[in-house]
């Protein structure tokens, strides 16, 4: 479970080759293309602050010795490891091979634009 948690936290932090990196990269590139440089600086600062926070969280939860009252806790059941393991695998898959997912997102955005244009017609 510690490995799955580490993958999830690193994905949230936007570390390549995980899915969080792809989404943060897309947001930063879109902001750069729009010429919103102040927002780019705020986004990059937010990414760095979040990364520091997530590293601290990993250190506290995984690498520090557990407190005495937590020693009686048993391992994680398989019914929890299997779905979270699948999600962690998807974090890696989407980070390494994002094209099908980005294509689907582009189709969804185009459908929303077409629908809005249809509604706006007099």
Question: Is a pLDDT exceeding 80 seen at residue 6?
Answer: yes
Question: Is a pLDDT exceeding 80 seen at residue 9?
Answer: yes
Task: Give pLDDT, residue 61.
Answer: 85
Burial of 7 (0-12, 13-18, 19+ CB in 10 A): buried
Task: Give pLDDT, residue 7.
Answer: 94
Digit-coded pLDDT (tens) for 45-65: 999 999 999 999 999 888 888
Counting runs of H as helices and runs of E as strands, what totals does the chain give? 5, 0
- DSSP-assigned letter for residue 1: -
24 and 14 Cβ atoms separated by less than 8 Å: yes
């Amino acid at each position: 479970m510690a490995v799955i948690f580490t993958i999830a936290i690193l994905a949230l932090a936007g570390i390549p080759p995980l899915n969080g990196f792809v989404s943060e990269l897309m947001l930063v590139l879109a902001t750069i293309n729009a010429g919103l440089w102040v927002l780019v600086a705020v986004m990059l600062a937010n990414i760095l602050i979040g990364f520091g926070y997530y590293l601290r969280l990993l250190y506290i939860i995984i690498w520090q010795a557990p407190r005495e009252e937590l020693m009686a806790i048993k391992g994680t059941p398989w019914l929890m490891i299997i779905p979270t393991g699948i999600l962690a695998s998807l974090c890696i898959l989407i980070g390494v091979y994002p094209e099908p997912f980005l294509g689907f997102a582009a189709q969804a955005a185009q459908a929303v634009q077409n629908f809005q244009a249809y509604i706006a017609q007099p």
